[in-house]
Structure 1
Amino acid sequence: MNDRKIITVEKISESRREFQEDVVVCETAVTLYVNEVEMVTMICTPTHLRELCLGFLFAEGMIASAGEATAFEYNKNDGLAWVETKNPINIKNNFLKRHIASCCGRGRASFYFINDSDIKPIISELHLHVTEIFSLRSEAERRSELFTATGGAHGAALGCKGDVIAFFEDVGRHNALDKIAGWCLLHDINPGDKQLVFSGRVSSEIVLKTARLGIPVIISRSAPTDLALELAGQLNVTVVGFARGNRMNIYTMGERINCQ
């Protein structure tokens, strides 16, 4: 499979030492060109790359629909991906070029980067019962096959009415979310009544990507940052953290969550 590799490792247990086969997650560098102009190099798991590239462009405010991307190609040998768009994109003026690392994403100096300033607060009538959140969290964990096999991947799921309708894994947590965004674009999904179920830390970047997509609720098994919660409050995003077993913390917009 493209997302994992079998290797031989030395395993030690107390005084016993032996060679055994083990599984590690695959990681590769993909350089994205838009209209023949180099944009960014992403460190990612080499699966669902069309979703990743389109989702990344959407998250950066460069396309608003899948139809704006007229072509996609990927050369595995060279690690190069190309996207053609209907309308020209002025990358030098509209994009702060960054190296995307799998460990920490891009990091932001402030909320109002030029590509973020058009994100609007979410208006949604969505309400969830806590049992739906537990069900979504459990189903996302069940689908985390790459993490189970390697321990080295993040997962992102799109939830609807207690069910997971899309799920992606990647070495980069932001990449997993971009794949969700790309999938929504390609399948013309309205995210306004959906939930993001996430395995990693909820940073400001994750809140901004989620808000741009229009998803009103983030459910994570990990913690949020203070800036993420500040932005979530401004953008009307519900943040649920430490959703593990039958417990969770609700940090923002708790009126969307019902317990009775």
Structure 2
Amino acid sequence: MSAGSTARARPLAGRKPFLTAAGAPLTREIAILDEFGERRGIHIPAERPLTVYVDKRELVTLMTLGASPELLVLGYLLNQRLIASADEIDAITVDWEVEAAAVQTRGGIGDIDARTARRIVTTGCGQGTVFGDLLTALDAVRLPGAQAARIRQGTLHGLLEVVRQQNSIHRKAGSVHGCALFRGAEMLMFIEDVGRHNAIDTIAGWMALNGVEGADKVFYTTGRLTSEMVMKSAQMGVPIIVSRNGVTAMGYDMASKLGMTLFGRASNRHFLCYTGFERFDAEPEPQRAPVRVVAGG
């Protein structure tokens, strides 16, 4: 994980919550037998459960690598709209011996039973879950200051090159998704987890803890752009999303309604801009000459 020290921030209204720093080993080495009959060691992601308790009430179990579990929990609560800001949290304590995160709020969460009674299992890797009518609450979502957000094609290329050079768990062990927050082509934070929804929640937690606003930022993910990912980016105030993967119809419709810009199939110098063309300053690549196939005699 990396964070830039110059990211524009707004101070929290109160004191920051206390967070433990209970990062866990991200990979584990196992012995495998390959197609050549050779036995050798490889690394695999160390997925583990983390049960979240809010004011001693069990809320949910998240399957995670555990890179920054406290930020994951904070971002999860924010993106589920169970809290409005980090100011509402007094402490988040993670203990891997009991695989639990204890959240202590400053004033409780009102109507938590009713607000978490209805669960929707999403298409998120590792089986994401959202509570209530979160995915349909578009009218309440605002993107303050995002009208001025723009991205140049050259900046997009630079962003993708930074991601390409990132030393990642995926290169070593595979089976994870990566997410990053950018200002221009500067990477402010990068995180990997077994599910892309965990990774974006961790970034949301980092932003909230450090008072970082999203209007001038770009969110990058290796995962597909589903309605869940689009909604979470919008709740973080980030209007521009770049994905190495594609977009679902529901994600497309949601981004169109919210006025967001989506890039998909983005890798190296290739991309597709699905929505929000008005934010994109295109610098088109020259068209390649068609390859002529000559029949051999």
TM-score of the aligned structures, taking structure 2 as reference length: 0.81
> What secondary structure, in the 3-state scheme, does the structure 2 residue paired with 1:61 have?
coil
Kept in 2: contact 1:23–1:150 (CA 8 A):
yes
Give the drift of 1:257: 1.0
Q: Choose which of 69, 79, 91 in structure 1 pairs with 2:99.
A: 79
> What secondary structure, in the 3-state scheme, does the structure 2 residue paired with 1:197 have?
strand
Q: Choose which of 233, 246, 255 in structure 2 pairs with 1:232.
A: 255
Q: Corresponding residue for 2:155? A: 132
Q: Corresponding residue for 1:190? A: 213
In structure 2, relative to structure 1, the CA distance for the partners of 1:53 and 1:111 (3 Å cut) is closer
The amino acid of 1:92's aligned partner reads D
Structure 1 position 70 matched with structure 2 position 101 = no
2: CA distance between counterparts of 1:75 and 1:245?
A: 40
Q: Corresponding residue for 1:3? A: 26
Aligned pairs (5 A) from 1:111-122: 118-120=140-142
1: CA distance between counterparts of 2:84 and 2:130?
A: 23
Q: Corresponding residue for 2:114? A: 93
Note the residue ranges of structure 1 that are not aligned, 5 or more in a row.
none
The amino acid of 2:260's aligned partner reads V
Q: Choose which of 211, 215, 237 in structure 1 pairs with 2:234.
A: 211
Give the drift of 1:121: 5.0
2: CA distance between counterparts of 1:31 and 1:152?
A: 22
Structure 1 position 46 matched with structure 2 position 69 = no
> What secondary structure, in the 3-state scheme, does the structure 2 residue paired with 1:227 have?
helix
In structure 2, relative to structure 1, the CA distance for the partners of 1:228 and 1:139 (3 Å cut) is same
TM-score of the aligned structures, taking structure 1 as reference length: 0.92
Q: Corresponding residue for 1:23? A: 43
Give the drift of 1:87: 2.1
In structure 2, relative to structure 1, the CA distance for the partners of 1:249 and 1:108 (3 Å cut) is farther
1: CA distance between counterparts of 2:73 and 2:131?
A: 20
Kept in 1: contact 2:63–2:126 (CA 8 A):
no
**Post-superposition CA distance 1:46-92 (Å, at most 9, x none):** 12001100000000112222221101111101111011111221221
Q: Comparing both structures, which one devotes a greater share of its residues to strand? A: 1
Q: Which moved more, 1:128-137 or 1:138-147?
A: 138-147
